[in-house]
Amino acid sequence: MLRTGTYTRRGFGAILAAGLLASGLAGCGNSDTGGSGGEAGSDKIVLGFSQVGAESGWRTANTTSVKEAATEAGIELKFDDAQQKQENQIKAIRNFIQQKVDVIAFSPVVESGWDTVLKEAKDADIPVILTDRAVDSADKTLYKTFIGSDFVKEGRLSGEWLVEEKKAATGPVNIVELQGTTGSAPANDRKKGFAEAIATNPNLKVVASQSGDFTRAGGKQVMEQFLKANPKIDVLFAHNDDMGLGALEAITAAGKVPGKDITIITIDAVKDGMQALADGKFNFIAECSPLLGPQLMDLVKKVHAGESVPERVETEETTFTPEQAKAALPTRKY
């Protein structure tokens, strides 16, 4: 069953269109990108958006940003929550094609397996924008642009901070790693960037690495296993705040002090993560901004108008220590 919500009353538009057609007053309706052009008589762009799910604080903030920006931009949004299942995203994209939306945007839950459905969108002359996560398709003509973060850099910044933090260590520093969703671009790339950075210090060793699927529950469950199997854990590197927050429960239940007995590094910088950092339970966060909505809507308008857009639009990001988190929290948008 498809979880699709339309953020304007399309049914009302159909009745209006029938009335206008009967009276010969109907507007043009169809856009020049093979789309429906929104409600009859309006030149609203119709955007079909397939979201990964609602697995983390980051995702919730990203969904809010997309919905608010669509309203602000006067774009009719058809939104689908795929509950972290690729088959649901593929169904949603096919549904958008059938409805002849003007533009499709989506955050691919995993990197692979998109070529067929993206070819169907291309054949239907509906442009596609990748947001947040990337795909590994060799054919770059299957989408117009990508907007999001450099995940390798986020992993590298996390590793570089740890190298500096542990440079005085004379013996092994055992690291456990909570990976994001298996096969997803952020999980693959953050792991890569972190591993490259810590390779400069042979004392730093990842002794266990497993997916917690970007959720708090997953982070807690896998951290419990790590603690049982590894007598000496010095560092936790979690690919997002939510898995780190779940791991906090397991660490304290095991009688250890997070931020002191175990150094904790995470990525995202959502409010709950920043609070844990300010409280000294986390030690470092690399930011990954979910506020992609406004830039996405600008790209949607340009792509719909047939204007050229950059191949890749990267978001500005930074990193935080506990002191920086305390200063940033009062004005944090997400």
Catalog residues that contact ligand GZL under the rule CB under 6 A.
55-56, 58-59, 132-133, 148-149, 186, 214, 240, 242, 267-268, 288
Taking the complex as a whole, the smallest distance from the CB of residue 315 to ligand GZL amounts, in Å, to 9
Round to whole Å and give the CA distance between 39 and 27.
9
Give whichever of 59 and 100 is closer to ligand GZL, judged by the CB atom.
Answer: 59
Q: Cα-Cα-Cα-Cα dihedral of 227, 228, 229, 230, to 10°? A: 40
Round to whole Å and give the CA distance between 284 and 79.
34
Taking the complex as a whole, the smallest distance from the CB of residue 292 to ligand GZL amounts, in Å, to 9
Give whichever of 173 and 223 is closer to ligand GZL, judged by the CB atom.
Answer: 223
Give whichever of 59 and 156 is closer to ligand GZL, judged by the CB atom.
Answer: 59
**Could you tell me the two tokens for 31?**
């856009």
Bridge partners of residue 319, in order along the sequence:
286
Amino acid in the structure at residue 6? T
Give whichever of 148 and 293 is closer to ligand GZL, judged by the CB atom.
Answer: 148
Chain residue whose CB lies nearest ligand GZL: 58
Give whichever of 117 and 245 is closer to ligand GZL, judged by the CB atom.
Answer: 245
Taking the complex as a whole, the smallest distance from the CB of residue 33 to ligand GZL amounts, in Å, to 27
Give whichever of 81 and 242 is closer to ligand GZL, judged by the CB atom.
Answer: 242
CA angle 327-332-333, nearest 5°? 165
**Could you tell me the two tokens for 235?**
């560092």
CB of 231 closer than 8 Å to CB of 44: no
Bridge partners of residue 177, in order along the sequence:
209, 237
Give whichever of 79 and 214 is closer to ligand GZL, judged by the CB atom.
Answer: 214
Round to whole Å and give the CA distance between 84 and 211.
14
Taking the complex as a whole, the smallest distance from the CB of residue 18 to ligand GZL amounts, in Å, to 42
Find, among 172, 169, 158, the residue nearest to 265 by Cα: 158
Query: Phi and psi of 85, rounded to 5°?
Result: -115, 125
- With the C-alpha atoms ordered 262, 263, 268, 274, is the resulting torsion angle positive or negative? positive
**Ramachandran category for residue 209: left, alpha or beta (phi over 0 → left; psi -120 to 50 → alpha):** beta
